[in-house]
Amino acid sequence: MDRRAQLNLLWELTIAHHKLRDQSSFFGFLWSFLHPLVMLGVFYIFFRYMAGSQVRHYPVYLLVGLVHYTHFSNSTKAALRSLRSMRQLTVDTVFPKELIVISWVVSSSIDFVISLGICLALALASGVSITLAWLWIPVLFLVQLLFTIWMGLLLSCLYLFAWDLDHIYEIGLRLLFFTTPIFYTRTVLGSGLAQTIVGLNPLARIIDAARGAIIDGQGVSLPLFALALVVNGVAMFAAYRLFKKLEPRFAEYA
């Protein structure tokens, strides 16, 4: 299958998944955005006088974190189950199976883009000024997309051989939520083990960079950005190679 045919197939799969998730209508998207909005309300009510007392534009700070985490969580969970949920395509059809996984991630990313747009609109409404640093937002989106895709490829192929992985991953996502500075700042962690764990969290770094660009007008450090690209590029290569190595056995285990 040539590159053009693969792109066309990826597009068709993405649109199909988007419709299956009931996101093709306004109310379908509204339900998907309701979760981060409810979480925003809860955390703002209970943490604005503690973790958020020293944070400028704390509602925007919260929403940026929640939107990024929700995208990563929803996308990777969908990718994990994608090969089994599309079992007929996985087993009976000859084409690159990674397109199934990537299409689920891209489908979820449509909501992510819309949510980011709403987040920026709310930031402007709350008094945040547009700066040149906002030009980093699409770049950071692509970094998160790359991170999510390789995680999806890794999870999806492993899940076929270990069906308990979905339960383990749910626990992992809960741990990720609390080890990502969504409703708190890194300054409250001190300089101990918790600070080290958060510092090693790729999602936390993406969220920090997005907040810096949106709220503080800070550009992204080029050396850190280059490092993020290298790390994600290597991880993507490794995940893809493992996926293709296991692909001949998918029909047996799907």
Query: Tokens 């053009």 sit at which residue?
Result: 4
Q: What is the pTM of this model?
A: 0.89
* pLDDT given for residue 44 in this prediction: 75
Q: How many domains does the chain have?
A: 1
- Tell me whether residue 118 is in a domain: yes
The per-residue pLDDT string of the chain (254 residues; one tens digit each, 9 = 90 and over) reads 677 778 888 888 888 776 666 555 555 556 666 767 777 777 777 767 666 667 888 889 999 999 999 999 999 999 999 999 888 888 878 788 999 999 999 998 988 998 899 899 999 999 999 999 999 999 999 999 999 999 999 999 999 999 899 999 999 999 999 999 998 888 888 788 888 989 889 999 999 999 999 999 999 989 989 999 999 999 999 999 999 999 999 888 87
* pLDDT given for residue 214 in this prediction: 96
- Tell me whether residue 25 is in a domain: no
Helix H or strand E segment including 117? helix 98-125
> Chain-centre distance of CA 140, in angstroms?
11
* pLDDT given for residue 4 in this prediction: 78
- Tell me whether residue 80 is in a domain: yes
* pLDDT given for residue 38 in this prediction: 75
Left (φ > 0), alpha (ψ -120 to 50) or beta: where does 172 sit? alpha
- Tell me whether residue 2 is in a domain: no
Largest CA distance in the chain: 57
Residue type, 94: V
Numbers of helices and strands, H then E, in the chain: 11, 0
- Tell me whether residue 5 is in a domain: no
- Tell me whether residue 154 is in a domain: yes
- Tell me whether residue 96 is in a domain: yes
- Tell me whether residue 219 is in a domain: yes
Cα torsion through 90, 104, 21, 109, rounded to 10: -170
User: What is the domain extent for residue 152?
Assistant: 31-253
Residue type, 49: Y
* pLDDT given for residue 118 in this prediction: 87
Q: Is the separation of the CB atoms in 23 and 114 below 8 Å?
A: no
* pLDDT given for residue 234 in this prediction: 96
